[in-house]
Amino acid sequence: MNIILQDIGRRYNREWIFRHLDYTFSFGNSYAILGPNGSGKSTLIKVLTGSLAPSEGTMRFEDRGVELGAEHVYQKISLAAPYIELIEEFTLNEMIDFHFKFKKILPSFTVEKVKDTLGFPKHTFQKEIRHFSSGMKQRVKLVLACCSECQVLFLDEPTSNLDKEGEGWYLNLLESSKSDRILIVGSNQEHEYSFCDEYLQIMDYK
């Protein structure tokens, strides 16, 4: 699986967020999309995941040289981001069961291992998510995305709402859920992306 961008740009009204971006994200590598707050990192990730259409240029997903239709791409990607909402009326047990009806779980994981990885007390799994702190919700988003079997994993500001302990937990989660795939991290904090193979500076495409 590769993601190939050709002269990609995105604008809001008359303002270009980024422009003339030529880039290939290759299977098996990890990438950091870097830039200050408000620079367009999340906008690029939304374009890559299909949430936003590019204003110019072309983007295609290829699997072994064959271009994938948009209807097949969803099954191959996972995303954790602050703007992704959990179903707050669900208990945590219900949220986990619901998620894995649509995404396959990593072969190295089981539902019980996913729950253990979260590190929450057992009674927490019966609570509705609307009662969770922002840090707990962020852990849930990350574990659901990272433990899904996917060819492309997007993590946008992955340690937002996490404390120092949570930042260590995030790195351990990535280590335990390693898989052959493309990993793309949107960040401006080095501890979130220091393990990445390549860096893309969004400010280079203004």
- Residue 70: pLDDT above 80? no
Total domains in the fold of the chain: 1
Q: What is the distance between the alpha carbons of residues 158 and 143, in angstroms, rounded to a whole number?
A: 11
Structure confidence at residue 65 (pLDDT):
84
Structure confidence at residue 127 (pLDDT):
97
- Residue 6: pLDDT above 90? yes
- CATH number of the domain that 197 lies in? 3.40.50.300
How would you classify the pairing of strands 15-26 and 2-12? antiparallel
DSSP H helices in the chain: 41-48, 70-73, 92-102, 111-118, 134-146, 164-176, 190-193
Q: What is the distance between the alpha carbons of residues 16 and 8, in angstroms, rounded to a whole number?
A: 11
pTM: 0.95
Q: Count Cα neighbours of 71 within 13 Å in the Cβ-side half-sphere.
A: 0
**CA 160 to each of CA 59, 111, 192: distance values in angstroms, whole numbers, following the listed order:** 28, 25, 10
- Burial label, 205 (beta-carbon count in 10 A; 0-12, 13-18, 19+): buried
Q: Are 172 and 142 in contact (CB under 8 A)?
A: no
Name the residue with higher pLDDT: 127 or 206. 127
51-66 per-position pLDDT tens digit: 999 999 999 999 888 9
112-159 per-position pLDDT tens digit: 999 999 999 999 999 999 999 999 999 999 999 999 999 999 999 999
Query: 79: domain range?
Result: 2-205
Structure confidence at residue 58 (pLDDT):
95
Q: Are 64 and 39 in contact (CB under 8 A)?
A: no
* CA 178 and chain centroid, separation: 14
Structure confidence at residue 74 (pLDDT):
85
What three-state secondary structure class fits 62?
strand
Name the residue with higher pLDDT: 2 or 75. 2
7-49 per-position pLDDT tens digit: 999 999 999 999 999 999 999 999 999 999 999 999 999 999 9
Please choose, from the candidates 87, 83, 70, 96, the residue with its C-alpha nearest in 3D space to the C-alpha of residue 148. Answer: 96
Q: Are 7 and 57 in contact (CB under 8 A)?
A: yes
- Residue 69: pLDDT above 90? no
- Residue 72: pLDDT above 90? no
